Structure 1
Amino acid sequence: MMLSSSTLLLSGGALSNSGSALALEGPAQAATLGENCTSFVLSNGLRFIVLERHNAPIVSCHTLASVGAGNEPEGFTGLAHLLEHMAFKGTQQIGTADYKREAAILDACDEEFYTAQAALDAGDTEAAQPHLRMLRELEAEAAKLQLPNAYGSLMSQQGGVGLNAGTNHDETKYYISLPANKLELWMAVESSRWRAPVFRELYSEKEVIKEERRMRVDNARFGPFTEAFAETAFPERPYGRPVVGTVEDFARLGRREVEGFFTAKYRPQTLTCAVVGDVDPRQVRQLAERYFGKWSPPVDAAAAAQWTDIPGAALPAPRGAGPRELRMSLPTGPLLMDGYYRPAGDDPDSLVYAVMSDLLDGGRASRLSTSVMDRGLALYATCFSAYPGDKYPSLFLVQGVPAQGVSTDELAKALRKELQALVDTPVSEVELRRVKKKTRSALLELMTSTSRTAELLCQFQARQ
Structure 2
Amino acid sequence: MPVKKSLSLFFVAFAFTFTQCKNEAYQTQSVPDTTASTASPAQKEYKYETVSGDPLNARVYTLDNGLKVYLSDYEDAPRIQTYIAVRAGSKNDPADATGLAHYLEHMVFKGTTKLGTQNWEKEKAELDKIEALYEKHRSTTDPALRKKIYHQIDSISGVAATFAVANEYDKILGAIGAKGTNAYTSVEQTVYTNDVPSNQLERWIALEADRFSDMVPRIFHTELEAVYEEKNRSLDNDRWKVFEAVGAALYPTHQYGTQTTIGTIEHLKNPSITEIKKYFDTYYVPNNMAVALSGDIDFDQAIRVIDEYFGKLQSKPVPEFKVAQEKPIEKPVVKEVIGPDAENVTVAYRFPGFNDHDALVLQMISGILYNGQAGLIDLNLNQQQKVLGAYAYDNQMKDYSDFTLSATPRQGQTLDQAKEMLLAQIELVKQGKFDDWLLSAVVNDYKISKMKAYENNSRRADAFVSAFIYGSDWADYVKRDDEFANITKQEVMDIANKYLQNNYALVYKKTGTDPNAQKVEKPAITPVPVNREVQSEYYKAFMAKEAPALEPVFIDYKKDITEAKLKSDVPLLYTKNKDNGLFQLYYILDTGSDTNPKLGLAVDYLEYLGTDKYTAEELKKEFYKLGTSFGVSSSGDQVYVSLTGLDENFEPALALFESVIQNPKADQQALNDYVSRLLKARNDAKLNKSVILQQAMVNYVKYGPKNPFTSDLSEKELKVVKPQELVSIIKSIPTYEHRVLYYGPRETDNLVATLNTGHHVPAILQPVPTEKVYAELDIKQPSVYWVDYDMVQAELLFVTKSMPYDKTMIPVVRLYNQYFGSGMSSIVFQELRESKALAYSAYSFYSTATKKDRSNYIISYIGTQADKLPEAMVGMEELLNNMPLADANFEIAKASLRNSISSERITKAGILFDYERAKRLGLDYDIRKDVYQLTNDMTFPQLHEFQQKFVKSQPQAILVIGSKNKLNFKELERYGKVQQLSLNEIFGY
Alignment TM-score, normalising by the size of structure 2 = 0.41
1:239 is matched with which residue: 251, 256, 270?
Answer: 256
* Structure of higher RCO (CA pairs closer than 8 Å, 6+ residues apart): 1
- Aligned partner (choices 444, 452, 455) of residue 462 of structure 2: 455
* CA distance in 2: counterparts of 1:100 and 1:403, whole angstroms: 64
Q: After TM superposition, list the pairs within 5 Å mapping 1:13-24 onto structure 2.
A: none
Runs of 4+ in structure 1 deviating by more than 4 angstroms, as ranges, are: 30-35, 328-331
Instruction: Rate the CA distance shift 1:374–1:128 in 2: closer, same or farther, 3 A.
Output: same
Residue identity matched to 1:211:
E
Which residue of 1 is the match for residue 452 of structure 2?
445
Q: 1:275 is aligned with what amino acid? A: L
Whole-angstrom CA distance in 2 between matches of 1:111 and 1:71: 24
Q: Give CA-to-partner distance per residue, 1:151-203, whole Å, 9 cap, x none.
A: 11101100111111111111111111111111111211111111112121222
- How far off its partner does 1:297 sit? 5.0
| Rounded Cα–Cα distance in structure 1 between residues aligned with 2:243 and 2:457 | 33
* Structure 2 residue aligned with 1:402: 409
- Equivalent residue, structure 1, for 2:678: none
Q: Hey, what does 1:10 align to over in structure 2?
A: none
Q: Deviations over 1:351-405 (max 9, x none)?
A: 211111122221133221221233334332221212xx41112321111222221
Q: 1:138 to 1:96 in 2, by over 3 A?
A: same
**What is the CA-CA distance between 1:69 and the residue it aligns to?**
0.9
Distance 1:39 1:225, change over 3 A: closer
CA contact (8 A) 1:165 1:174 kept: yes
Secondary structure of the residue aligned to 1:253 is coil
Distance, in Å, in 2 between the alignment partners of 1:34 and 1:320 is 40
User: Residue 375 of structure 2 is aligned with which of 351, 366, 369?
Assistant: 366
Question: 1:170 is matched by which residue type in structure 2?
Answer: E
Amino acid across the alignment from 2:62:
V
Partner SS for 1:353 = helix
CA contact (8 A) 1:58 1:277 kept: yes
Counterpart in the other structure of 1:162: 180
Please show how residues 59-98 of structure 1 align to structure 2 within 5 Å.
59-98=80-119
Residue 378 in structure 1 maps to residue 387 in structure 2 = yes
Partner of 2:761: none
1:356 corresponds in structure 2 to 365
Deviation at 1:288, TM superposition (A): 1.8
Cα pair distance change 1:35/1:116, threshold 3 Å: closer
Pair 1:153 & 2:171 matched: yes
**Could you report, residue by residue, the CA deviation over 1:285-333 in whole angstroms, capped at 9, with x for unpaired residues?**
211221111211555xxxx77xx75xxx523433133222223444433
| 1:68-97 alpha-carbon deviations (Å, 9 max, x no partner) | 111122122101111111111111222122
CA contact (8 A) 2:82 2:291 kept: yes
Shift of 1:148: 1.7
Work out which of the residue numbers 275, 296, 304 in structure 2 matches 1:278.
296
Partners in 2 of 1:316 and 1:365 — Cα distance? 36
Instruction: State the partner residue of 1:315.
Output: 324
1:114 Cα deviation from its structure 2 partner: 2.2
The answer to whether structure 1 residue 212 and structure 2 residue 230 are counterparts is yes
2:341 to 332, 335, 345: 332
1:6 paired residue number: none
One-letter amino acid matched to 2:371: G
- Kindly indicate whether residue 145 of structure 2 is the aligned counterpart of residue 127 of structure 1: yes
Q: Provide closer, same or farther for how the CA distance between residues 147 and 345 of structure 1 changes in structure 2, counting only shifts above 3 A.
A: same
What amino acid does structure 2 have at the position aligned with 1:357? S
Look up the match of 1:230: 247
User: C-alpha displacement at 1:426, in angstroms?
Assistant: 5.3
Q: Which amino acid aligns with 2:439?
A: L
**Matched positions, count:** 421
Asked if structure 1 preserves the Cα contact closer than 8 Å seen for 2:253 and 2:325, the reply is no
CA deviation string 1:77-120 (max 9, x = no partner):
10111111111111122212222211111111112222223222
Secondary structure, in 3 states, of the residue corresponding to 1:195? Answer: coil
Aligned equivalents of 2:171, 2:237: Cα separation in 1: 31
Provide Cα deviations, 1:110-133, integer angstroms capped at 9, x if missing partner: 12222223222xxx1112222211
1:136 and 2:154 matched: yes
CA distance in 2, matches of 1:296, 1:327: 48
2:209 is the alignment partner of 1:191: yes
Structure 2 counterpart of 1:436: 443
Task: Compute the RMSD of aligned alpha carbons.
Answer: 2.2
Q: Which moved more, 1:320-329 or 1:404-413?
A: 320-329
For the 8 Å contact 1:60–1:177, the answer to whether it is kept is yes
Q: Which amino acid aligns with 1:348?
A: H
Q: Distance in 2 between matches of 1:340 and 1:393?
A: 10
Query: Does the alignment pair 1:413 with 2:412?
Result: no
The residue type equivalent to 1:173 in the other structure is V
Distance in 1 (alpha carbons) for counterparts of 2:333 and 2:200 = 54
Residue 275 of structure 1 aligns to a residue whose secondary structure is strand
Quick one: which amino acid aligns to residue 342 of structure 1? F
**Aligned residue identity for 1:407:** T
Q: In the aligned structure 1, how far is the partner of 2:327 from the partner of 2:172?
A: 47
Between the aligned partners of 1:253 and 1:330, the Cα distance in structure 2 is 29
| 8 A contact 1:358–1:366 mirrored in 2 | yes
Question: 2:136 aligns to what?
Answer: 115
Give the secondary-structure state (helix, strand or coil) at the position aligned to 2:131.
helix
* 1:42 maps onto 2:76 in alignment: no
Check conservation: 2:72, 2:293, Cα contact below 8 A. yes
Distance, in Å, in 1 between the alignment partners of 2:215 and 2:356 is: 36
Q: How much has 1:140 moved relative to structure 2? A: 1.5
Residues 318 and 384 of structure 1: CA distance in aligned 2, closer, same or farther (over 3 Å): farther
CA distance in structure 1 between the aligned counterparts of 2:337 and 2:177, rounded to whole angstroms:
49
Whether the aligned pair in 2 keeps the contact of 1:317 and 1:341 (CA below 8 Å) is no
Corresponding position: 1:181 with 2:232 = no
Q: Which moved more, 1:145-154 or 1:319-328?
A: 319-328
Contact 1:48 1:273 survives alignment (8 Å): yes
1:325 alignment partner, SS class: strand
Letter in 1 for 2:209: S
Shift of the 318–403 alpha-carbon distance from structure 1 to 2, 3 Å rule, reads farther
Distance 1:433 1:394 in 2: 24
Q: What is the CA distance between 1:55 and its match in structure 2?
A: 4.2
> 2:316 & 2:333 partners in 1: Cα distance?
46
Moved more, 175-184 or 425-434: 425-434
Shift of the 381–266 alpha-carbon distance from structure 1 to 2, 3 Å rule, reads: same
1:266 alignment counterpart? 284
* Counterpart residue type for residue 397 of structure 1: T
Question: Given that residues 253 and 326 in structure 2 are in contact (C-alpha distance below 8 angstroms), is that contact kept between their aligned partners in structure 1?
Answer: no
CA contact (8 A) 2:454 2:460 kept: yes
Structure 2 regions of 5+ residues with no counterpart?
Answer: 1-32, 34-50, 474-989
The one-character-per-residue Cα deviations of 1:393-447 (angstroms, maximum 9, x if unpaired) are 2321111222221111101110000011011015434322331222122111111
> In 2, are the aligned partners of 1:317 and 1:393 still within 8 Å (CA)?
no
Structure 2: how far apart are the matches of 1:177 and 1:298? Answer: 29
Query: What TM-score does the superposition give when structure 1 sets the normalisation length?
Result: 0.85
In 2, distance between residues paired with 1:315 and 1:112? 35
SS of the residue corresponding to residue 89 of structure 1 reads: coil
- What is the percentage of aligned positions where both structures have the same residue? 24
1:93 and 1:317 map into 2 onto residues whose CA distance is 46
Q: Distance in 2 between matches of 1:326 and 1:129?
A: 37
**1:377–1:406: 8 Å Cα contact kept in structure 2?**
no
In 2, the alpha carbon distance for the partners of 1:175 and 1:391 equals 21
Q: Decide whether aligned partners of structure 1 residues 46 and 336 sit closer, same or farther in structure 2, where only a CA change above 3 A counts.
A: same
